[in-house]
Structure 1
Amino acid sequence: MMAAFSSSTRRLALVLILLVSTLGCNLLVQPGNISQPPRQAAPGDLLLPTAAEPVPPTPTATRVIEAYLPSPTRTPTPTLVPTDPPSPTPVPSTPTPLPPAPVTRRVVIISVDGLRPDALDQTHTPTLDRLRSQGAYTADARTVLPSVTLVSHASMLGGMTPEKHGIYWNDFRPELGKINGPTLFSVAHDAGLSTAMVVGKPKLEHLVLPGSVDSYIFAGSRDDEVAAKALELLQGEPPAVLFIHFPDTDAVGHSSGWMSLPQLQTVSHVDTLIGQIADALDLSDTLLIVTSDHGGTGTGHGGDTPEETRIPWLAVGPGIPAGLVLSPPLHTYDTAAAALYALGLPIPPEWDGRPPAELGVR
């Protein structure tokens, strides 16, 4: 009987061992016993695997364990609740566009050599009186020193003081070369605009840089000759930049004296010629500037007295308020800057000239 019991016991032990190895857990060792020192096995004890010697689970055991794992919890699909649409972002209203700036297609600069501003108040000048009422004017502009024709015109058309433009003589001396640029004509020509000069003194050729003036005309030493050539240029398509130089007022000042009756009569006559030129222009797209290079006293000029250095400066054209009195200071080298500004061209940074602040040209 003991043998049968022992055989049954062994079979039961084998079943338990198989079950323990299948489930991968220790059925006989409690957690509290793990920290206790192992006791010596007594005779007849059944030896079981301990936690220090785990039996690797078999694939069958893995499937058994997975069968007892809880099934994953499904997250319920949220119910979409309709909401009110968001309020549209207000769009700022478009401001009313400003009217476009006046566009100046061309610039005409007229220089009456030797014209003092007070001469306009002592003789008959209906054209200049009308232009003054239509545009901007000052009788207190200033020329440069020395107050002579070539030096002053170099500043007028070159935008710089004599120290920069390098013209210090006052007669035609080809061996001395040309003005230091850039000039009004070179900037305009480089921008693709046509340029022209009609002059009454040959020495003004010193102001023509190579390739800067499309048409340079020495018309003769009389105002009538200059006006005739200028009117020829204005027929058809006029140049974009035109300079006209009238010499007689200066010549009569040297021969008869500044503010003498012959000179005042000469001023009245050149006023008529300026009227012919103004009538040939479309002042809705043309800036017309009338000015001078210097004044004079007695029969000469070149000094720093107000009679020699004060010059008139008049501008009429698109965007210029009628009857505007320009504020000082305004210098002869501001003339070229005003012309470029009106044409929408950049003013060279080395220039001293700046357009008058009051002018409403583009």
Structure 2
Amino acid sequence: MKKIGLLLGMFFLLASNVMASNWKAGHVVMIAFDGWGAYSVPKAEIPNIRQLMSEGCYTLKKRSVLPSSSAINWASMFNGAGTEIHGYTEWNSQTPEIPSRVVNKHGVFPTIYSLLDEQCPLAETGCLAEWEGIKYLIDSLAVDYWGLSVNYEEQPQRLCEMAEEYIKSKKPIFVSICFDQLDHVGHADGHDTPSYYNKLNELDAYVGRIIKVLKEIGIYDDTVIIVTADHGGINKGHGGKTLQEMEVPFIISGKNIRSGGEFKESMMQFDTAATIAYALGLKQPQVWIGRPMVQVFENK
């Protein structure tokens, strides 16, 4: 029995070493803000995000897919494809309105979590969010940990606290942390308003806390950090075709990421999943149309 256990242990160690040889980093942490328009970045304080921008690469011109609303773009962010292929077409879609072009063993369109589940089954993965709608878009059967923070109006720090606890305890290979608060302020008080920037500054502080945890547990130097969004907004809404609604930031920093500043290449929402897959050495399915932003990596 001991010999079998030893052999299995050696097998998994060898397998993990082979996988790691293709990886650009041992961990990817994606922090995403619902309703964060790129137009706001030059006007906001956000010191922690600016530090990531100065140490890594970024664009303020990543475009959402249309319509520029939530479920559609969260799906594209995780699914590596656009509306016409994954089939989620409404702001609150829970199942595709158009049949997905391809489905996986769980009966859903393949997501970044699906790829990790199939290609690196031992990898710990998590998704934490303030909007329950996210869980319908990620292939929840492929995720090791799903955490929902409710009532964030009264407990705005709760999602950050949950993320800190989860990262400390599990050191996930990939985790996405999805904040809904900025979108809520955009709808209630308006985008590009003092309230909007106050909330954005609060969210920046949470980014700083998550970075601090990564350093405390000793994985910061082996981590790629992404900060991005699903869509922007104008006045008190979104879903339209203005650049205020469609252009969102994409910031990437950390292990094997160049200190290249702003990159000029075109980026779409579905390129996010492709870039995460590239960082973790995953093979994309043919149905994905996302392109990894290989230019931001030092060792391509």
* Common topology (TM > 0.5): yes
Please state if 1:208 is matched with 2:135: no
Query: Among residues 114, 128, 131, which one is paired with 1:198 in the alignment?
Result: 128
How far apart, CA to CA, are the structure 2 residues paired with 1:217 and 1:240? 16
Partner residue, 1:279: 212
Partner residue, 1:258: 191
Q: Which amino acid aligns with 2:229?
A: S
Alignment of 1:1-362 (within 5 A): 103-171=24-92, 173=94, 180-190=108-118, 191-192=120-121, 193-209=123-139, 211-222=141-152, 223-281=156-214, 282-360=219-297
Deviation at 1:172, TM superposition (A): 6.2
Does the CA contact (< 8 Å) of 1:140 and 1:328 recur in 2? no
Q: Which runs of 4+ in 1 moved over 3 A?
A: 100-103, 172-180
Does the CA contact (< 8 Å) of 1:111 and 1:293 recur in 2? yes
Deviation at 1:174, TM superposition (A): 6.8
**CA distances 1:290-324 after superposition (whole Å, capped 9, x unpaired):** 00100100100001110100000000111111143
**CA distances 1:45-80 after superposition (whole Å, capped 9, x unpaired):** xxxxxxxxxxxxxxxxxxxxxxxxxxxxxxxxxxxx
- Give the alignment's TM-score, normalised by structure 2: 0.82
Does the CA contact (< 8 Å) of 2:34 and 2:229 recur in 1? yes
Secondary structure of the residue aligned to 1:141 is strand
Report percent identity of matched pairs.
29
Q: Evaluate the alpha carbon distance shift between residue 210 and residue 271 of structure 1 in structure 2; reply closer, same or farther with a 3 A threshold.
A: closer
Does the CA contact (< 8 Å) of 2:88 and 2:96 recur in 1? no
**CA distances 1:119-160 after superposition (whole Å, capped 9, x unpaired):** 122122110111100100111111100000110000000000
- Give the alignment's TM-score, normalised by structure 1: 0.69
List runs of 5+ in structure 1 lacking aligned partners.
1-99
Does the CA contact (< 8 Å) of 2:185 and 2:196 recur in 1? yes
- Structure 1 or 2, whichever has the larger Rg, is 1
List runs of 5+ in structure 2 lacking aligned partners.
1-20
Does the CA contact (< 8 Å) of 1:221 and 1:248 recur in 2? no
Does the CA contact (< 8 Å) of 2:26 and 2:280 recur in 1? yes
Structural RMSD (CA): 2.1
Secondary structure of the residue aligned to 1:114 is coil
How far apart, CA to CA, are the structure 2 residues paired with 1:147 and 1:273? 25
